[in-house]
Structure 1
Amino acid sequence: GVPGAVAVASNMCHKFPKAMVGAYKRYKYGQVDLKLGLFMAASASVGVWLGIKMQEYILKRWGEAGSTLYVSVCFVVVLVIVGGYVFYDAYKIARAGGGEAVSTLARYLQRINLPPMVTFHTAGVRISLWFTLPIGLATGLLAATIAVGGFIGVPGMMYVLGASGLVASATELVIAFVMGLGGSIKWALIGMIDIRLTLIILAGSLLGVQLGAIGTTYVKEHMIKIVMGTIMIIVALSRLLAIPKPLTQLGVMNFSPDLLAWCQIASFVIMCIALAVGALIILGSMYKAKRAERVRAAEPVYDKTFS
């Protein structure tokens, strides 16, 4: 029931300290490409500024209902397109035996010698700086629109730049911290951050960051894509059910109060299901990996020197 702009602003404010904790944790595991994160964060910060300007205009022109409609429509479009492709790619990788291959587009772009060329050692990528800029810009723009720029940043680093899913998801935390800090200051100046809502979300998410960082050391990379794709598709359905309310408030369409109430409840329930499904997939994969590790550790080691 929170207005779209307030939800986006408060979520961005809670995300940057959480991202800092997650980035540090995963940096210790060697999963973060700090150089790539900082390069993309620079253009992402510009995207955040543009996105906030767009939100300000929509709020002045159409009010809270227009802002909520804008956020919901962007959510549905982005999540269906990106989530569908990520899920399909994860399915192909799983059928091929779990090995993650660099996309055809990434291999093509890496062959283009367009100065300045930049090498990102942790990601194992050498590519023109110019190809990182639009991904960062789109990540920031989306973060200021729906507060989840990672839905563009992570797939962009994987399919356009050629980073692995593990490195991309970890490096996105660096981007989220930098652009979230700047974006939160901008949102606060126009009075859109609900600090109580921010603190409540932050309290719950810090535990999730710790579990996520540990989980990525055990979960296979194609499984990360399956989780991403699954959550995106389910959340898209949730946001689709939230669209009738602002349409009615703007007078574009006329839905009955009973239908609007049903849509709101269904949207909330589906959102909870999305979070639960993602958590169960990750925790289940962690359990299987840990159990397999214990089995391998318990197996006797034979000295074949004298055999």
Structure 2
Amino acid sequence: MEIMGVSATLLATFAGFGLLIGILFGFFGMGGSFLVTPALLVMGYEPNVAVGSGLAFVFGTSVIATLKHRDLGQVDYKLGLLMIAGTTAGLEVGKIGLEALQHMGLADSVVSVAYVLLLGGIGAFVTREALKGDGGGLDHDVDDVDADDAEIPEIAQTIQSYRVWPMIRLRGGYTVSLWLILGVAFATGLLSGFLGVGGGFIRMPALFYLIGVPVPIAVGTDLFEIVFSGGIGSLLYAQSGAVDLSIVVPLLAGSALGARLGAAATALVAEEDIKVYFGIMLLLGALAVAVRQIGGLLELPVLNTVSLAIILGAALLVSGAVTYSAVRELRSVPSERAVDVDA
């Protein structure tokens, strides 16, 4: 049986893959093109179709996830718009640097090494910092967070201490200099443009560790930014006919549920657990990219399949852990209330 010229089995596979990625996207604010595009390339799709369809999927999923985070009060629109402005400028400069490396014939090797080091470095840092923490849970009412009492990373505290006018008040009661926000946004955009990636895995930790935004709001605000970047990118590829709806529609069908589940889980899972899962996801991603690059250097196509298996395994492992943690927290709520009543 075929639908839109594609077998029902393949459509079901895309829908299942979309569900897994939707959970990761809603939970971390990243993971779409980072997982979808390599998978499509290994499956034999043309590069422009893989990238264009991946961007269209990212756009649709980010809209769904952002709406859920909005319902939970986890999107800072003011910060999101400022980050978009700074990131856009950084992207242009990063793109210029990448083009310069291409003219020198060094782009592939430099970008690949930088990508692996950045993914691995951020993943290791976030995991180490989370495991050092006290494992405290999330404060679900982000509007009532007291900036003086909340646990803010030391780097973010230092950045917030610079009172350079104008100061911007963020959700949760934090105030940060406009210029420092734009500086962080420019730096993350620069890395994104240089590496040729969406940058969600850079922006989310940057919002938390550099600006001091609580993790759930960092995820929601990052998704809000991706709505714009994914929308523009998918529109450009759609105009050239590089968006394959037989890929995008079933992926979105699965992610429509997954993104809402992942977003809802950020209000249930402890903040330290979110950071641990995020770090593990990046470490596995770095391993997958490294394996693919080694396969290219040694001309061993089988390593591309191994890389894809690592990506799919990472998506299944981490999305399963997220779902399990959220269900565990939900099941613990009635028992906690019962204890309170007895007391």
- TM-score, length of structure 2 as denominator length: 0.73
In the other structure, the counterpart of 1:235 is: 285
1:162-200 deviations in Å (ceiling 9; x for gaps): 1111111111111111222233345556x4944344445
In 2: Cα distance, 1:6 partner to 1:52 partner? 21
The alignment's C-alpha RMSD in Å is 3.0
Q: In structure 1, give the amino acid aligned to 2:155.
A: L
In the other structure, the counterpart of 1:83 is: 123
* Partner SS, residue 218 of structure 1: coil
- Which of residues 82, 86, 106 is equivalent to 1:43? 86
In 1: Cα distance, 2:311 partner to 2:250 partner? 17
In 1: Cα distance, 2:234 partner to 2:113 partner? 23
Pairwise CA distance, 1:28: 1.0
**143-152 or 263-272: which moved more?**
143-152
In 1: Cα distance, 2:93 partner to 2:49 partner? 17
In 1: Cα distance, 2:53 partner to 2:191 partner? 15
Q: Is residue 49–residue 244 contact of structure 2 (8 Å, CA) maintained in 1?
A: no
- Which of residues 138, 159, 175 is equivalent to 1:126? 175
1:254-282 deviations in Å (ceiling 9; x for gaps): x25xxx13311211111111111211221
Pairwise CA distance, 1:299: 4.8
Structure 1 residues 226 and 97, CA gap change in structure 2 (3 angstroms): closer
In 2: Cα distance, 1:161 partner to 1:8 partner? 31
Pairwise CA distance, 1:296: 2.7
Pairwise CA distance, 1:137: 2.7
* Partner SS, residue 147 of structure 1: coil
Pairwise CA distance, 1:88: 0.6
Pairwise CA distance, 1:294: 2.2
- Percent identity between matched residues is 30
1:46-101 deviations in Å (ceiling 9; x for gaps): 33445556667777886xxx8776664343122111111111111011xx242672
Answering whether residue 256 of structure 2 is matched by residue 182 of structure 1, we say: no
Pairwise CA distance, 1:243: 0.6
Structure 1 residues 48 and 182, CA gap change in structure 2 (3 angstroms): farther
* Partner SS, residue 292 of structure 2: coil
Q: In structure 1, give the amino acid aligned to 2:308.
A: F
In the other structure, the counterpart of 2:301 is: 261
Pairwise CA distance, 1:110: 1.0
Answering whether residue 262 of structure 2 is matched by residue 208 of structure 1, we say: no
**RCO greater where, 1 or 2, for CA within 8 Å and sep 6 or more?**
2
Gaps of 5+ in 1: 248-254
Structure 1 residues 71 and 294, CA gap change in structure 2 (3 angstroms): farther
Pairwise CA distance, 1:5: 6.7
- TM-score, length of structure 1 as denominator length: 0.81
In 2: Cα distance, 1:75 partner to 1:300 partner? 49
In 2: Cα distance, 1:158 partner to 1:238 partner? 26
Pairwise CA distance, 1:142: 4.6
In the other structure, the counterpart of 2:208 is: 158
Q: Is residue 135–residue 270 contact of structure 2 (8 Å, CA) maintained in 1?
A: no
In 1: Cα distance, 2:305 partner to 2:267 partner? 36
